[in-house]
Amino acid sequence: MATITNSPSNICFLLLLLLAHFNLGKSQLQLNYYSKSCPKAEDIIKQQVTQLYHKHGNTAVSWVRNLFHDCVVQSCDASLLLETARHGTLVSEQTSERSFGMRNFKYVNTIKAAVEEECPLTVSCADIVALSARDGISLLGGPSIEIKTGRRDSKESYAKEVKDLIPNHNDSISVVLSRFQAIGIDVEATVALLGAHSVGRVHCMNLVHRLYPTVDTTLDPAHAEYLKRRCPTPNPDPKAVLYSRNDLKTPMIIDNNYYKNILQHKGLLIVDEELATDSRTAPYVQKMANDNEYFHQQFSRAIQLLSETNPLTGDQGEIRKDCRYLNVH
């Protein structure tokens, strides 16, 4: 039997084989992935996102939240969009308590239908999630971000994992930092991502624990009184429209007012307060509060990192015809 020696040439050959095996069936995400297969895809998505924004302004905020909820759970693979199957074979991630308050999923189908009309079974729902977030951020006054494409769609839901992977509204900054670090997002980028709270709102049921029975001493007293007017009872109806916005001055613009607010102890969630006071994050908060351009630069970088989390590519997954359902084979 022939023996393989440990010569440099043989070692290089084995390394090449290993790399070839590792990359088998996997292509990298790239800019303008659909330039040949569906050249109008990104323009169609942008047009749909813009039209929806002018009809329903809050859709742009939904697209940003969709990206977070999709990518933090296993992969940027549109598993979030799958609906619960009738016979219980699949449970939607949307049923998780972490998905409370999410909306506008039906309009993802509007975008997908327009793309399907141009290029059937070509553009993934996962890329629609990423690109709609990009375009939504731009419409909300945020930075223009280059987003790579080429993702494919998951064939399963991860409903059981959602609770363990998406931070709870009561979680500490340490928990939040560790969750993001686990998917390759550093502290500076995490601070920037939380800046998306500048266009967010919080339902009273997720902040009354800071108001009742006694007011959280870390809250600005005058702001606490305002929040008590917004949330007049310690037991709000989760189905009622009872909420407060993070940013009262520019509630529909992604800017650095969020950081200015939390430095004044006007954050709605515990993590907002801790972000401004924890030694690991406070320097970035101060810098972002002082410099909106710096915040936008870091926000762009953070969105790119988030959107490239463990994507399915190549021959993995599928390209769904309808984002709500797995393809029928």
C-alpha triplet 272, 101, 58: angle, nearest 5°: 90
Which residue, among 154, 112, 122, 131, has the nearest Cα to 310 in the 3D structure?
A: 154
* CA–CA distance, 2 with 254 (Å, rounded to integer): 65
Q: Which two tokens stand for residue 78?
A: 């549109």
Amino acid at 113: A
- Catalytic site residue from 21, 54, 69, 223: 69
DSSP β-bridge partners for residue 203? 243
Looking at residue 318, what DSSP letter applies? B
Note if 69 is an active site residue: yes
C-alpha Rg value of the chain to the nearest Å: 22
Binding residue per annotation — 77?
yes
Q: Is 167 annotated as a binding residue?
A: yes
221 known ligand binder? no
CA distances, 303 to each of 37, 138, 167 (Å): 25, 12, 17
Can you tell me the distance from the alpha carbon of 28 to that of 313, in angstroms, rounded to the nearest whole number? 7
Rounded Cα distance, 137 and 130, in Å: 11
250 is in an annotated binding site: yes
Residue 203, H or E segment? strand 201-203
Yes or no: say if 40 and 117 are a contact pair by the CB < 8 Å rule.
no
For 245, the 3-state DSSP assignment is: strand
Residues 6+ apart with CB under 8 A from 8: none
Which 8-state DSSP code applies to residue 152? B
User: DSSP 3-state assignment of 13?
Assistant: helix
268/220 Cα distance (integer angstroms): 11
Is residue 70 annotated as involved in ligand binding? yes
197 is in an annotated binding site: yes
Which segments are annotated as binding site for heme b? Answer: 197
Residues marked as catalytic: 69
Which segments are annotated as binding site for substrate? Answer: 167
Which segments are annotated as binding site? Answer: 70, 73, 77, 79, 167, 197, 247, 250, 255
Which segments are annotated as binding site for Ca(2+)? Answer: 70, 73, 77, 79, 247, 250, 255
